[in-house]
Every structure is written in structure tokens, then in C-alpha cells.
């Protein structure tokens, strides 16, 4: 393989990482939790009924939260970036511009809304609307300017380089108590995705649809799946819960079918969560959950992008086209809730997960440095009266740096880094 071919392979792989920068405080590109109380416990709570956003955590819990509305907004403040080093060896040509590039001056607002209605003492219906979104990655340089084809003006990279992507989820819930201890829930889930991508002109010659790679404005994708839940309370001081969300099958991004694998397909991966909640004393709840997200089942996310490809190959947009090689993610969550008195409840939590970005593919992911693996959370609820409450949750994702190389251009090294802060406030109304 000649040097020009090797230089092009790295940025081609990098393209597929941009879709990860789409959420608030994140595990991969999924929110750490849903609903302010759940977020304040680091997402632990598949066995802890909290509010009308529980559809997104465990549909079975909705039969235990009563009649209520919950509405809020999160202020998300991420800092992310990458460093590309000068290649070693005489005459080494950088594949990515050498230097440190940061995006730390952005903040995003992400709203949510939930409603729950008890049909009787055993059955409930509900609606929850939440978002993964309000974040983009946009560098004020033409990151891939070194890779334009000489003499071909159509492949000259523009600036800025980056992505703007968001997701909305709508869950319609039905929950029913089967007996005094067991509750089941089901929720059809509908989703809408939006994406816009800029600055990837150098990769048109490597696509099966060159005009559907970059700078085509916003495109939309629609689809859905189903979420199932189970909640068991064998004693007053012990509860167990589990939920499963199927893969959400989405229509393809036609405007970017030449970029994402399998003709623009970008489904949403399946998620499994199970946990236990213990009350050592009536006022204190300790929750422990395990969540597993199957990123590898989505070609655009999980396809291995570390395999060398010869120059001239059509490797974008095909069924087995380049992805960004993410691993599945398993997250361990611990949450604590203390009802100090009838008016005030306090919460805290911590979560830890594996890295989704393989170290040897770190440079593939410069536009989506989803490196964080540890979150610390805290929050509180204030019952203003019998019907109204204010809720607060704060999240800090500790900075994580991943050092790595690219198998196609081993002389250039680099690193990815990210940390996140989020503050969420919501209002609850019980009726």
C-alpha cells in the first residue's frame, strides 16, 4: 500500500465516530438516566419507582408512581477534544493536523416531559418524552484538509468540520400489577433522529454514493421498537427490577447513505438493565443496577474500522462499510436516596463502565471522544406542598483520556479527552 493510501485510511475511519456526540451526560451516546430523581442516583433505579419518566427506565414502575406530571430541562456542559502528535521518523507527514483542539465553550438545553394516569389500583397508562441531543461537535478548522485528491476541487475539505445530531424518544406505557408482589409493563417506543454533517469532502471517492457523504443539510430518520419491564417486591425492604428495550429500527439517513454503513442505516441498539433496591431503614434506599448497551449490533457504530483497505476501495456506505469499532458497554450503577423528612429527599450516585473505544483505534474517534467512564451525581427534591415538588440533579463525568494509534499510520499517535457537567431541574405535579 502506498503512503497516500495509508494516509487516507485513518480519516475515512474517523468519519464514523461523529455520530456519538449526541446526548446529555453520557454512557456512550445514551443518557446516564431518565428523570431528575433517576439521574441524581446515576441512573440506578430499575427497582425504584420515582416519577412519570420511569417509562424510560422500567415501564413496570409506572403502576407505583401515582397520578402525576413531570417536566424539566437539563443544562449540559461538555468539554471534549483531541491531540494529534507529529509523526515520528524523517519526513513523517501528519494524517491529522498536529496540535490540540478543544471544544469546551458550549452548553445545551435538553427538555423532558412525563405523564402517568392510574386507571385503578392495579393499572396505569403513561407517556414520556425525552431526548438524546442538544450537543454537537464542530471544529473551526478543516480537520481533513490534508486528504483532498490533487486536482479535484470537489474533494477539498471545508470548515467547520463536525456533526449536529439529536434523538427524541416517545414512550407510551401500560403497567399492571399481576399480584401483590409482581408488576409488568410494556411501552412501544417511537424515535426521531436528526443529523447534519460537514467537512468530509475528501472521502467522496471512497463512497458508493459520493453525493451523499457531507454538507447536505439536515436529514431525518424515524422508527421504533418496544420496551418491557418487570418489578418484584418480595418484602417491604427489598425490590428487584429488570427492563429490556429492543433494537429500534429506523429509516435510513438518505442524505448520508454514502457515509454510514449499510446505505445510511443508523438503528438504535438494544439495552438491558437489571437491579436491586434495599431499604436498610424505611427512610433510606440503596439501589444497585447493571446496564448493558449493544453498540456492536449497529453496523455504523460497531463495524471494525481498523482493517487496512487498498486505495480506490469503495468502503463507505456499503453493507460492511467502515464503522468506528465501538465495543458493547456495561455500566455498573450505585444510587442512594434518603428521605430526611416529609419535605426533603436527598440523593447521590456513582457509575462506572468499560471503555467503548479500543485504544488501538483511538484516533478513529477524534470527532466523538466518548471516553468518559465514571459519573458522580447528587440531587434533591423539595415537596413544596401536597401536589408540587421541585427536583434537582447534578452530574460530573470525570475527565478521561485515551491514548492510541492507527494501524494504517502507526507513526502518528494521539489522544482523545472528555469531561462533562450537567445540571437538571424539574417540576412534579401530583393529582
CATH assignment at residue 265: 2.40.160.60
Backbone phi and psi for residue 331, each to the nearest 5 degrees, phi listed first? -115, 130
Burial 27-59 (b: 16+ CB within 10 A, else e): bbbbbbbbbbbbbbbbbbbbbbbbbbbbbbbbb
Report the pLDDT averaged over residues 21-42.
83
Q: Is the CB of residue 148 less than 8 Å from the CB of residue 201?
A: yes
> Is pLDDT above 50 for 20?
no
The predicted pLDDT at position 163 comes to: 82
3-state DSSP assignment of residue 146: helix
The predicted pLDDT at position 148 comes to: 80
The predicted pLDDT at position 186 comes to: 98
Which residue carries 424515524 as its cell? 222
Q: Over the stretch 185-223, which tens digit does the pLDDT of each residue have? A: 999 999 999 999 999 898 898 899 999 999 999 999 999
The predicted pLDDT at position 17 comes to: 36
Instruction: Classify residue 345 as exposed, middle or buried by CB count within 10 Å of its CB (0-12, 13-18, 19+).
Output: buried
The DSSP secondary-structure symbol of 142 reads -
Grade residue 22 by pLDDT with cuts at 50, 70 and 90: very low
Dig out the grid coordinates for 330 from the structure.
456495561
Q: Over the stretch 258-307, which tens digit does the pLDDT of each residue have? A: 999 999 999 999 999 999 999 999 999 999 999 999 999 999 888 875 55
Number of neighbouring beta carbons within 10 Å of residue 131 = 20
The share of the chain scoring above pLDDT 70, in percent, equals: 85
Q: Over the stretch 358-407, which tens digit does the pLDDT of each residue have? A: 655 555 566 666 788 999 999 999 999 999 999 999 999 999 887 776 55
Q: Over the stretch 84-118, which tens digit does the pLDDT of each residue have? A: 888 776 556 677 788 888 776 678 888 999 999 99
Query: What is the average pLDDT score of the chain?
Result: 86
Q: Residue 158 and residue 363: Cα distance in Å, rounded? A: 20
> Is pLDDT above 60 for 426?
yes
Could you list the beta-strand ranges (E) of 119-218. 123-139, 161-177, 182-198
Report the pLDDT averaged over residues 408-416.
69
Range picked from 142-146, 277-281, 412-416 for highest mean pLDDT: 277-281
Calculate the alpha carbon distances from 229 to 172, 184, 386 in Å: 13, 6, 29
By residue range, what is the domain housing residue 63? 3-430
> Is pLDDT above 90 for 256?
yes
The predicted pLDDT at position 11 comes to: 41
The share of the chain scoring above pLDDT 90, in percent, equals: 59
Q: Is the CB of residue 322 less than 8 Å from the CB of residue 302?
A: no
The predicted pLDDT at position 215 comes to: 95
What residues have CB less than 8 Å from 80, skipping those under 6 apart? 21, 102, 103, 104, 137, 369, 416, 417, 418
The predicted pLDDT at position 21 comes to: 40
Report the pLDDT averaged over residues 310-322.
81
Which residue carries 441531543 as its cell? 133
Domain count, the chain: 1
Amino acid at each position: 500500500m502506498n503512503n497516500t493510501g495509508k494516509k487516507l485510511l485513518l480519516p475515512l475511519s474517523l468519519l464514523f465516530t461523529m455520530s456519538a456526540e449526541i446526548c446529555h451526560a453520557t454512557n456512550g451516546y445514551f443518557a446516564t438516566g431518565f428523570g431528575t430523581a433517576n439521574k441524581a442516583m446515576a441512573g440506578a433505579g430499575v427497582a425504584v419507582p420515582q416519577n412519570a419518566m420511569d417509562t424510560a427506565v422500567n415501564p413496570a414502575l409506572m403502576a407505583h408512581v401515582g397520578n402525576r406530571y413531570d417536566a424539566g430541562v437539563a443544562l449540559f456542559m461538555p468539554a471534549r477534544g483531541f491531540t494529534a502528535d507529529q509523526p515520528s521518523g524523517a519526513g513523517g507527514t501528519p494524517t491529522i493536523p498536529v496540535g490540540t483542539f478543544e471544544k469546551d465553550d458550549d452548553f445545551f438545553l435538553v427538555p423532558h416531559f412525563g405523564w402517568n394516569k392510574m386507571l385503578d389500583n392495579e393499572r396505569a397508562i403513561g407517556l414520556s418524552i425525552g431526548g438524546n441531543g442538544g450537543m454537537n461537535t464542530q471544529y473551526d478548522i478543516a480537520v481533513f484538509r490534508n486528504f483532498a485528491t490533487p486536482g479535484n476541487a470537489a474533494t477539498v475539505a471545508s470548515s467547520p468540520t463536525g456533526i449536529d445530531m439529536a434523538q427524541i424518544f416517545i414512550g407510551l406505557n401500560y403497567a399492571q400489577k399481576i399480584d401483590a408482589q409482581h408488576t409488568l409493563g410494556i411501552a412501544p417506543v417511537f424515535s426521531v433522529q436528526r443529523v447534519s454533517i460537514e467537512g468530509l469532502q475528501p472521502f467522496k471517492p471512497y463512497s458508493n454514493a459520493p453525493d451523499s457523504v457531507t454538507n447536505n443539510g439536515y436529514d431525518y430518520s424515524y422508527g421504533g421498537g418496544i420496551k418491557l419491564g418487570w418489578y418484584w417486591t418480595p418484602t417491604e425492604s427489598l425490590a428487584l427490577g429488570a427492563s429490556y428495550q429492543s433494537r429500534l429500527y429506523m429509516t435510513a439517513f438518505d442524505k448520508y447513505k454514502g457515509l454510514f454503513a449499510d446505505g445510511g442505516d443508523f438503528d438504535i441498539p438494544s439495552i438491558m438493565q437489571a437491579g436491586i433496591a434495599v431499604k436498610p431503614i424505611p427512610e433510606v434506599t440503596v439501589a444497585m443496577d447493571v446496564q448493558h448497551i449493544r453498540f456492536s449490533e449497529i453496523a455504523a457504530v460497531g463495524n471494525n474500522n481498523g482493517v487496512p483497505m487498498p486505495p480506490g476501495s469503495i468502503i463507505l456506505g456499503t453493507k460492511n462499510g467502515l464503522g468506528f469499532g465501538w465495543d458493547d458497554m456495561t455500566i455498573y450503577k450505585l444510587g442512594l436516596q434518603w428521605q430526611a423528612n416529609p419535605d426533603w429527599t436527598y440523593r447521590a450516585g456513582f457509575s462506572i463502565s468499560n471503555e467503548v473505544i479500543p485504544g488501538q483505534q483511538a484516533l478513529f474517534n477524534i470527532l466523538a471522544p466518548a471516553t468518559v467512564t465514571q459519573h458522580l451525581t447528587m440531587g434533591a427534591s423539595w415537596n413544596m406542598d401536597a401536589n408540587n415538588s421541585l427536583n434537582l440533579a447534578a452530574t460530573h463525568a470525570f475527565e478521561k483520556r485515551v491514548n492510541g494509534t492507527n494501524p494504517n499510520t502507526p507513526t502518528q499517535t494521539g489522544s482523545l479527552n472528555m469531561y462533562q457537567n450537567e445540571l437538571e431541574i424539574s417540576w412534579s405535579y401530583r393529582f
